[in-house]
A and B are shown apart, each in its own frame.
Chain A
Amino acid sequence: MFMEAFSIIWAYREGFLKGLIVTLQLCAIIWSVGIVGGGALGWAGARYPVWGKFIRTMAFLLSGLPILVLLFWLHYPAQAIFSIVIDPFITAVFCFTLVNLFSVSDLVRGAIADFPQEYITAARVCGLTTRQTMLQIQLPIILRQILPSLLTLQVVMLHTTLFASLISVEEIFRVAQRINASIYKPVEIYTALGMFFLAISLPVNGFALWLKARFTRNISER
């Protein structure tokens, strides 16, 4: 079965490659804007209460709304209301980036807001500068705390990109569906698709687990 899956991938490599490129483009935008923008927004949220409230509210609202509903709403009713037509790829990017942005920013905001002030006080009385305190005390502790959750979230976002196929974005899942419609080999095609996602997700998940084991060890004192 696996050999047959590989032979189908090889036979339709051009189509799969195009789908893969679209999926990777989606991920690249969702991940980069989500992590960089979410990190900055989270920092602002921890520093300025108004931004913090905004982030918490948005993250709360988005967590209560299924991504598929949001995607469909942005693709159909929203465009009908405003009498505009937007490329499905852009709609998908906007939708998933929005979710990732506020998820990351809430994660970062929470980690900064909950950071034990005592460690900063200790740094002050030891004469560390604000920059040293941020780079050598706050940042390493916060990164260790959020990195595993952040990576897991990005894997979830990769999986979420499959929904884009439902609004006609030619990403890898849609390509697989189209090939299956023409040759009807669902076992081989979806096995190949599963292997593709495992090949990307498992190393990232494994890395997240390793980070968790390595850095988020029990630091409670005896």
Chain B
Amino acid sequence: MLTANNLSKSFGAHQVLRDISVTIAPGTITTVIGPSGTGKTTLLRALAMTDVADRGEITMDGKNYKFPWPENEKISPKPWPHITAVFQQLFLWPHLTLRENILLPARNFLRATMMDELQELISVLELAGFIDRFPNEASLGQRQRIALARALMLQPRYVLMDEVTSALDIEQVSNILGFLPRLKERGIGVLIITHALNFARRAADHILFMDQGKMIEHGNARLLDNPQTPRLKQFLSMVEAAH
């Protein structure tokens, strides 16, 4: 179980996260929705512990991390890649081919089935046509799928994804939706930040709605059909109107 309690984070005088608590159970998919600039990416980075929270606590499978973390001290025990992340900007290493981007970190966790797993990912995510190119020779949608494959090859317990389907076409999103249950079967806890409400509705076991750094409402996928707070109602109606 990945549990975050009362996470807060500020950049200068601007408080971006305000006492957010989240639980991600193994084998479940949680999506985070909300307006832009509301702190969703900051939440992902705080949960991934790449940007440490100012206050709060994260517990991951019995390991406890209390914040504020002592300055200049590394996060210990290392939570990665038990928890890993696919960032919105992807951050693929530009000097390596896409295949090497996937295999370089995976080699640290060598196992007999590694190449079979890679083949499965190549097939499911349709990577075969471009996997030996460099990142700058691939489209955004292709790079998103590579970043996803790079994270999944690490056999993480928890994967945090930030807008990983934003540049994918309907067919590719459908493939990802079809692939997510396999992650659940493997017991991987997934958190996905998305603007695509339909994707959230179809993928999520649990939906969190954030606004201005706060958790406003959360619940199962039916939350989107039956919002309780005026702010979520307003947000959903604005999104529907925009479409």
Contact A219 B80 (CB under 8 A): no
Main secondary structure, interface of A, reads helix
- Interface status of A114 (Cβ within 8 A of chain B): no
Contact A125 B80 (CB under 8 A): yes
Closest 9 CB pairs of A and B: A126-B105, A127-B81, A122-B91, A219-B94, A118-B91, A125-B85, A125-B84, A127-B80, A219-B136
- Interface status of B9 (Cβ within 8 A of chain A): no
Contact A222 B139 (CB under 8 A): yes
Q: How far is the CB of B17 from chain A (nearest CB, A)?
A: 18
Residue interface bits A205-222, CB-to-B below 8 A is 1, else 0: 000000000010111111
Given contact pairs A127-B81, A127-B154, A122 touches B136 in the complex (Cβ within 8 A)? no
- Interface status of B189 (Cβ within 8 A of chain A): no
Cβ 8 A contact of A119, one of B48, B91, B136: B91
Residues of B within 8 A of A126 (CB): 80-81, 84, 104-105, 150-151, 154
In the bound complex, CA of A136 to CA of B101 (Å): 11
In the bound complex, CA of A136 to CA of B105 (Å): 10
In the bound complex, CA of A169 to CA of B37 (Å): 66
Which residue of the partner chain B has the closest CB to A219?
A: B94
User: Size band of the A side of the interface?
Assistant: 20 to 34
Q: Identify the A interface with B (CB < 8 A).
A: 118-119, 121-129, 132, 136-137, 140-141, 144, 215, 217-222
Given contact pairs A125-B48, A126-B154, A127-B154, A222 touches B95 in the complex (Cβ within 8 A)? no
- Interface status of B50 (Cβ within 8 A of chain A): yes
Contact B135 A219 (CB under 8 A): yes
In the bound complex, CA of A144 to CA of B134 (Å): 15
Contact B91 A221 (CB under 8 A): no
Residues of B within 8 A of A215 (CB): 95
A-B contact pairs, 24 of them (CB 8 A): A121-B50, A124-B80, A125-B48, A125-B151, A126-B104, A126-B154, A127-B80, A127-B84, A127-B105, A127-B108, A128-B108, A129-B108, A132-B108, A140-B95, A141-B93, A141-B94, A141-B95, A219-B94, A219-B134, A219-B135, A219-B136, A221-B94, A221-B136, A222-B136
- Interface status of B109 (Cβ within 8 A of chain A): yes
